[in-house]
Structure 1
Amino acid sequence: MGETLEDLTIRPADVSDAPEIARVHVASWREAYDGIVAADYLASLDVDERAGRWAERLRTGPRDDVRTWVAAAGSRALGFASLGPARDEDAARNEQEIYSIYLDPGMWGKGVARELMRTVLAEVPDGAPVSLWVLAANERARHFYRRHGFAADGTERMHERGGAPLLEVRYRRS
């Protein structure tokens, strides 16, 4: 991949982006969660099935103020992120939640995630807190979020993937 930040465009995603978002989503999961999530679960992730789910989400457009952006170089997605109202019971009325931020593993460490995060955070209303959930064992992601002003707030939950319980930690930024 010869993409550079000069080639990078971050724009609202549309239904035509679904196949590329799905490709990035699956590749990122397989790389980031290797050794964390069961290998057979990661191997079972299906790009076509995921593309269908993304197409449906994007076809209906923003719902409940959920927005998705794609970071692209030409027609190739390098990453994506989604933001919407916080879903936690204890969330403030104006709190936003980053539902997803994933990159093609070949783009890790090249500044694409930083640019995506800047785009997402610029869309958060002034003064609104932002939360996200991250697997406790995903140190790379946790470090990234801390660098962007997020901190674990002490709230944890168990989430099952591939038949195994996984600990998730909530991060917040005020």
Structure 2
Amino acid sequence: MSETLGEVTIRPAEVADAPEISRVHTASWQEAYAGIVPAEYLDSLDPKNREPMWTEHLRNGPRDGVLTWIALSGDHALGFASLGPCRDEDAARNEQEIYSMYLDPGMWGKGVARDLLRTVLGEVKPPVPVSLWVLADSERGRHFYRRHGFFPDGTERLRDVGGQDLLELRYRRR
């Protein structure tokens, strides 16, 4: 992706967006989690393998109460984010959760993530709380969420990624 950023459109994702979302998801993981997630796992990621999962998710998401937005420049995906009912056992009945938010690494620091997050949060009516999980070692991710009003609430969990247990922290925004 070039350094100049044309017009960015953010809209609800459609099933036809699955290939582009899969590409961004894979590239973002490989860049953002290098040195955190086992290298052999990151090297094994392939957008073609994620595409069926995203196709199914985008087909079923609205029925499951999960919405995904995509940020585009033309027909090229810059990033995406998904929001739905919070899956945590201790969640309030109306609490929402950001399930995923990833950007093409070439778009980091260009304001696309900020605009995408604002779009997602615009769907949540105050005072509904919003939570998300972020890898403890993802300094960039943690800093981004803190800048946008999310703070760790003290809840942690281990997540197996590529055969390694990684610590995740829950962040909340009220």
Indicate whether the TM-score tops 0.5. Answer: yes
Q: What is the match of residue 34 of structure 1?
A: 34
**In the alignment, structure 1 residue 154 sits paired with structure 2 residue 154:** yes
What is the CA–CA distance in structure 2 between the aligned matches of 1:78 and 1:99, rounded to whole Å?
18
> Aligned Cα RMSD in Å?
1.1
Q: What is the match of residue 165 of structure 1?
A: 165
In structure 2, stretches of 5+ residues that fail to align are none
Residues 4 and 118 of structure 1: is their aligned pair in 2 closer, same or farther, counting only changes over 3 Å? Answer: farther
Q: What is the match of residue 78 of structure 1?
A: 78
**In the alignment, structure 1 residue 54 sits paired with structure 2 residue 57:** no
Deviation string for 1:46-84 (max 9, x for gaps)?
A: 211101110111123412210000000011000000000
Aligned partners of 1:3 and 1:73 also within 8 Å: no
What is the CA–CA distance in structure 2 between the aligned matches of 1:65 and 1:38, rounded to whole Å?
32
Q: What SS does the aligned partner of 2:62 have? A: coil
What is the CA–CA distance in structure 2 between the aligned matches of 1:109 and 1:66, rounded to whole Å?
27
Q: What SS does the aligned partner of 1:134 have? A: strand
What is the CA–CA distance in structure 1 between the aligned matches of 2:34 and 2:122, rounded to whole Å?
31
Q: What SS does the aligned partner of 2:63 have? A: coil
Q: What is the match of residue 103 of structure 1?
A: 103
- TM, length-normalised to structure 2: 0.97
What is the CA–CA distance in structure 1 between the aligned matches of 2:155 and 2:36, rounded to whole Å?
20
What is the CA–CA distance in structure 1 between the aligned matches of 2:171 and 2:51, rounded to whole Å?
28
Moved more, 43-52 or 12-21: 43-52
Q: What is the match of residue 44 of structure 2?
A: 44
Q: What is the match of residue 12 of structure 1?
A: 12
Q: What is the match of residue 116 of structure 1?
A: 116
Q: What is the match of residue 140 of structure 1?
A: 140
In structure 1, stretches of 5+ residues that fail to align are none
In the alignment, residue 135 of structure 1 is paired with which amino acid? Answer: L
Poorly superposed stretches of 4+, deviation over 4 Å: 3-6
Identity %: 71
In the alignment, residue 152 of structure 1 is paired with which amino acid? Answer: P
